[in-house]
Chain A
Amino acid sequence: MSDAKKDLSRRGFLGAGGAALLGGMVLGALPLEGKESAGAGPGPLPKKWDETYDVVVVGTGFAGLSAAIEARLAGASVLVIDKMPVHGGNSIINGGDFAAAGNSFQKEAGVQDSPELMLKDMMKAGSYLNHPPLARLVAERSNEALEWCKTYIGAKFTRLNFHGGHSVKRSVQTYNQSGSGLVNPLLDKAKSLGVKVVLRTKMTRLIAGKEGRIVGLEVRTGYKWPDEASGTPGFIKARRGLILAAGGFSQNVALRQIHDPRITAKFESTNHPGATGEAILAACSAGAMDVQMDWIQLGPWTSPDEPGFGHGPQVCERIVGYGLMVDPANGKRFFKETGNRKERADAIIAIGHPVIIVGDSYAIGKQVVPKVLGKAMEVGVVKKFDTLEALAAEYQVPVQPFLEQVARWNGFVQKAKDDDFDCKLFPDSKTTATAPFYAMRLWPRVHHTMGGLVVNAEAQVIGFDMKPIKGLYAAGEITGGVHGAVRLGSVAMADCVVNGRIAGKNAGGEKAWS
């Protein structure tokens, strides 16, 4: 994989026009999901605009709503659209963990942290493919963004968690362990400020005016996902700016495979069903540059025993460093449980079949929210056993090797060092010894697309002439470069709020073109 990454950018040698043409040809030739192409290049201005706003935002997740609020506070009239019949995209179904360097929960728990350390973690996980100014921006403003969510937006956060790949616990979780704990307060605040939010409205094409400046968009109102022929075409003028916050493309199998042919339909996704990336393609058709589209992340904490993201991840990710992960075929550990998402997912995929993670009653009791454990057990994802032997029997793990492995793991926990795989061990990690014992199966699912539209630190989208496209902004998963090769868990919420706010402030502060 790393050799491929050293290749020149595929677009680099083509120049602006050639790249747009190639993009168009690729769209035409390949069987992309959805019957319609992602949108023709910017064509002539419409004869009539159906609606006019200062700022139009595409997407009702963390980034889109943060942007809408800041644009409104900058004095702009703001419309937010979403193609789906429900709001929130991936944000509203996520686990609610927000990485913030130097947050109040860390201070209370005596955890030492800094934006420099968070940046270091992001760059290391990202294989240094992160665009340094973008990664730095998120690390440095992460805590300010969290405080804004708490004090201005009124979202409640209650727990400090660890996520694989971070040096310390720095992820602060919403009171209900769901992104809805932030999305819904953001939506309420936006509406109270006079932001208009309309669902079932899909952007089909960006509209450019003089010198390629984005002046508005073509939409289908009354769009009934996933029927591409549904809805009525309309044109919306964006006098100051268009902000794209429409998420990634984890659910677009055809698009995934263009960038990484290994991610076939065999791999399911944790994402909401609309995460298909048409907005990215529409922006590229209007001259936006894309980057690192082949870095597509699979989450290593999902269970094959339930669909989607499910309840499993919030058990698995809480016990890494407190329990052990083994290959049921031989009862042995094979990788550090606290690794980042990519290295763990790759390790599991290399094994070729689901693995299991085991926690004893101390680990589970200490780390997992009781309601979450309850649900995970109710749906059969997490199972409980009186003995390790019974656990081994359930997953057909060879008993003796497994018990030896548990003893070996316990030895490492006792001396606070994992000689085999260098798993991070926490001050309160204990040996896996107290019944009952819990286990869940793990098999990776497509989770996040790190690549996307090229942006600068002002959330402006960059075109193939290497200059910002006037009137066009983007924030959140639709952008590329913040996370590089691998996104660390819980840094998405920080990315979305930090960059959504910047996009909103900037777009809202633009001078109207008409």
Chain B
Amino acid sequence: MHPTYLKERVSPMLSSFLKRFSAASRLLLFAALIPLSQAATQAPTMTADLHKAKGVTCVDCHGNAKKKTFVAAERCLGCHGPAADLVKKTANVKPENPHDSPHWGPQMECNVCHRQHEKTVNWCNHCHAYGFKVP
């Protein structure tokens, strides 16, 4: 949702909505929200969360940016590289080495597949049927 929409429209709506209820009803509302928060912790872990768990913070990838920025391969390779090592690391993956396709070789941006803040993608499967597990 666009940030200003949230601030300008949703918050006032929410507070006027809540004012209509007695304290007891508000408690019920709050209780109803508890399963939602539980569901949130059971949601699939994003790769960014895996990074976070290892002590890699937002700043480490995005620098001092205030908003979400695209992180280029150079940044990833700063820790996970060089590219040639990645190619070697997945050399035995079947049926193909995902980091050395005949099309892009090791030249793809990492986050084409290794999306951080959403589900990871197997780009090859637009055309192929490779059962890669993409971390």
User: Which of A's residues lie within 8 Å of B, judged by CB?
Assistant: 85-88, 92-93, 176-178, 180, 184, 199-200, 222, 270, 272-273, 306-310, 375, 378-379
Contacts and interface: CB of A to CB of B under 8 A. Distances in A.
A196 to B, nearest CB: 15
B95 A379 contact: yes
A178 B103 contact: yes
Given A200-B70, A378-B95, A272 B104 contact: no
Contacts of A93: 103, 127
A306 B95 CA distance: 14
Contacts of B127: 93, 270, 272, 307-310
**A interface majority secondary structure:** loop
Given A86-B108, A379-B95, A308 B103 contact: no
A489 B126 CA distance: 23
Contacts of B128: 306-308, 310
A313 B111 CA distance: 31
Contacts of A308: 126-128
B44 interface: no
Contacts of A86: 103-104, 108-109, 112, 123
14 contacts: A88-B103, A88-B104, A92-B104, A93-B127, A177-B102, A178-B102, A180-B103, A180-B104, A184-B107, A270-B127, A272-B126, A272-B127, A310-B128, A379-B95
B43 interface: no
Contacts, number: 49
Closest 9 CB pairs of A and B: A308-B127, A273-B126, A178-B102, A85-B112, A92-B103, A180-B103, A307-B129, A93-B103, A176-B102
A199 B128 CA distance: 23
B70 A222 contact: yes
Contacts of A273: 126
A426 to B, nearest CB: 28
A184 B103 CA distance: 8
Interface residues of B, number: 17
Contacts of B70: 200, 222
B133 to A, nearest CB: 19
Interface string B36-69: 0000000000000000000000000000000000
Contacts of A307: 125, 127-129
Interface string B110-135: 01100000000001011111000000
Contacts of A180: 102-105
A385 B127 CA distance: 28
Contacts of B107: 184
Nearest to A92: B103
Nearest to B108: A86
A66 to B, nearest CB: 18
Contacts of B111: 85
A88 B108 CA distance: 11
B41 to A, nearest CB: 27
A258 to B, nearest CB: 24
Contacts of B112: 85-86
Contacts of B103: 86, 88, 92-93, 178, 180
B60 to A, nearest CB: 21
A85 B109 contact: yes
Contacts of A92: 103-104
A183 to B, nearest CB: 8
Contacts of A88: 103-104
- The residue in B102, B103, B105, B128 that gathers the most chain A C-beta atoms within 10 A of its C-beta is B103
Contacts of B123: 86
